[in-house]
Amino acid sequence: MQVGSLDIEIRRSARKKTITVNIEPDGSVNAMVPQDCSDDVIFKELSAREYNICQHVAKRKAVTRAQINRSFVNGQAFLFMGKSYNLQIVNSVETMRATPLQIIDDRFVLNAKHLPTAREQFIKFYKKQGLPYLQERVSHFSKLVGREPTNISVRELGAHWASCTPKKNVNFHWKCLMAKPEIIDYLVVHELTHLKYPQHSRQFWDAVFSVMPNYKECEDWLHDYGVTLNL
């Protein structure tokens, strides 16, 4: 649907009650709309939001252009828990045979022997270091949310930051561990609340707000800058 200067893809869903606009990392725009919503109503609603949408599209494109293309070379900065650590590649040493990638003296130190698989080593690091941290944060917020998951895992989740299953398992993308603690806490609260309210209903967001009143700031940060959390 053409709305002013915007070409917006319309996606209908029987589960949607309101019109939701999504802006992808490349700046493309789509709108999730109720199945029975007329084109006239959709056009009127999107036209009223056109200026705001255009602003967000421009911001998203700027962030994407500024995205760091990280290389596995000495001095390159990598994130862990929102903090930047420069990479140092060292020759094989006894202490690094079991753990090829470590944080030592505020640096990521990588065994040169594992340089060909550097990306995999970083992912392993985030998974290993992230799981106990997430377990602790889940334990903390479970008491506040009133729900406790059956299992917690850190894995590859594609375009999703986190997810929960019908069996009450909660999964987190390894990329989450690149974000600052406040953002990770928001993702924890979000998924735990889904154990109580599966849909993004008014009750769901009210419950999230009751535990984390600043959740919208965290959600906006992920929307605008989540693209920078990558290898």
**Quick check: 10 pLDDT over 70?**
yes
Q: What is the pTM of this model?
A: 0.74
Residue 7 has pLDDT above 60, yes or no: yes
Q: Is the pLDDT of residue 93 over 80?
A: no
Q: How confident is the model at residue 191 (pLDDT cuts 50, 70, 90)?
A: very high
> Two tokens at 222?
């992920």
> What's the burial of 207, exposed, middle or buried (CB within 10 Å: 0-12/13-18/19+)?
buried
- Does the pLDDT of residue 96 top 80, yes or no? no
pLDDT bracket for residue 24 (50, 70, 90): confident
Q: Please give the share of the chain, as a percent, with pLDDT higher than 90.
A: 66
126, pLDDT greater than 90: yes
Q: Distance between CA 33 and CA 202 in Å, rounded?
A: 17
Q: Using DSSP, state whether 74 is helix, strand or coil.
A: coil
Average pLDDT across the chain, whole number: 90
In the block, tokens 């990558």 appear at: 230
Residue 172 vs residues 90, 126, 133, 190, 220: alpha-carbon distances, Å? 31, 11, 12, 11, 19
Q: Which residue has the tokens 């130190």?
A: 109
Q: Is the pLDDT of residue 66 over 60?
A: no
How much is the pLDDT for 68?
64
pLDDT at 99: 84
Mean pLDDT of 7-14: 90
